[in-house]
Amino acid sequence: MPQNAFHTVDVFATAKYAGNQLAVFEDADALSSDQMAALANETNFSETTFIEGGSPDDGYDVRIFTPDGEIPFAGHPTLGTAAVLREHFSAGDEVTLNLGVGPISVEVRSDGSDSEQYWMTQNAPEFGAELDRETLAEVLSLGAADFDADWPIQVVSTGLPAVMVPLRDRDALARSEVFTPAYRSFFDDVGVENLFLFCPDPRDDANDFAARMYAPGHGVAEDPATGSANGCFAGYLARHRYFDDEVEVTVEQGYEMGRPSHLHLEAEDRGDEVTVRVGGRVEFVSEGRLV
């Protein structure tokens, strides 16, 4: 095994040791796909990324793996890898990652304090099928009355599809639990692993929504902060005029896991296309080298 350097970071973190953990490996062109998959399984984070090369002008070639295999896009790995590239590769305040879904740009913004936020512009969301409450109720161990009937359950994708699931309140969010046999049947029918549950009932009045994300099909029972699904959510809010055709909200996620996370969302629906941006903080935790 090559002696690659690696870094761990917490993305969308409210503080160090919160948010979503990410391992970022350098010089990944020296690793085989099987070695990357094995390392992702070894770290057992929701995702692990591998920088294969690149430059500030041409972008950086990056691959993303869950414990279950490679995926074309994910949000917190995009922001966390951009932070590593900026801090350790002098990539600058605007970083482009060449991912499986194509180039994704990340910019750094001041959040008005001593810290900074990393923001990515995701691909325009694609809006898929609307699903029935009865099926999702069985998958999520909930009753039909736990869902917010004013808004659709819908598949949305900005590169990695997720099912947007509106719930009435945080009590329903807390009681949700994936029922594995129903989930497997659902995946066979719909073909989407990611289930993103949300409600307009946050713990903190400074936030707008509370959310949870289940992805057992990717080897992730629950995810503490999901940039890709929140990008889908931003597009969903804009398209369905939850507030208006412009969205600027903060989502809290990961509290049930003891990994509190804040994700900032922006979106505009101009009719022919929805523009989506997702931002948050990145905390550096550790670095090392393979032996």
Query: Any idea which residues carry the catalytic annotation?
Result: 47
Give the span between the Cα atoms of 284 and 134, in whole angstroms.
42
Q: Using CA atoms, how far apart are residues 236 and 130, in angstroms rounded to an integer?
A: 12
Tell me 82's DSSP state: H
Instruction: Give the type of residue at 46.
Output: S
Q: Is 261 in contact with 18 (CB distance < 8 Å)?
A: yes
CA–CA gap between residue 145 and residue 154 (Å, rounded): 17
Cross-strand partners of 213: 196, 223
Give the 3-state DSSP-derived string for 188-232, with helices as H, strands as E and coil as C.
HHHCCCEEEEEECCCCCCCCCEEEEEEEHHHCEEEECCCHHHHHH
